[in-house]
Amino acid sequence: MRKLLYTFYTLLASYPVIFILFVVSVAIVYLGTGYRPIEARYEALLAERIALKQERQRLAQELEGMRQGDLQKRLQIFSNEFLSELETSEKTLVGITNTAFSASGWIIESASIKKEEMPDDTLGLGSIVVTYEGRSQGTTLNDGTAFLPANTLLQACTYLWRKSPTKDFSRIYIERDSRGYRTEMDVIYLIQKAEESEVEE
């Protein structure tokens, strides 16, 4: 036993640098094994952060796409609210109202532009005042109910006022003559400037 201790001490005295290096190596290995879970945890958190960043970028792109789609729909709806300056022919103006008035016992015979303000360059909007002339079709409606001139006319005007394109009734005139009932109405429409592609067509 003493011989072994003597040999050990001899080695320590002869090779102190080797001993110190051995101790340092053991300490590094020990400390390294202790830090491995922390390093693994750090790498996991870093990977999770990268994944979250990528997910945020994906959601931001998806949200931007939804915003663009919503904007296009809003612009389309906004455009549908107004007449184009190319849609001011008598046939088009009569067609806008005739269906509703026919269901109420009236027929629109003519439409003429009474006043017109062309769209400006700032907002691209203008207005026209259209005078409609119509006449009653009979004394009863399609469902067999009695024809009430003023009531049915106002019902048709109210229905059209709520529908696109945007319009307002500035004058409604009704009278009875030898042929039945006739009406005249002044309707104000907002018109928008036509696109260059529409003008070329």
Orientation of helix 90-103 relative to helix 149-162, angle to 10°: 120
Q: Give the least confident one: 63-77, 87-101, 119-133, 176-190.
A: 63-77
Q: What is the mean pLDDT of residues 42-67?
A: 86
Look up residue 173 and give its two tokens: 């005139």
How many domains is the chain built from? 2
Same domain, 100 and 196: yes
Same domain, 95 and 53: no
Same domain, 179 and 102: yes
Q: Which pLDDT belongs to residue 198?
A: 47
Domain boundaries, position 47: 2-77
Specify the CATH number for the domain of residue 189. Answer: 3.30.70.60
CB 129 within 8 A of CB 115: yes
Last residue of a domain, one of 44, 77, 110: 77
Return all residues near 12 (Cβ < 8 A) that are at least 6 apart: 19
Of 59, 63, 189, 49, nearest to 114 by C-alpha is 189
Does 167 score more than 80 pLDDT? Answer: yes
Does 61 score more than 80 pLDDT? Answer: yes
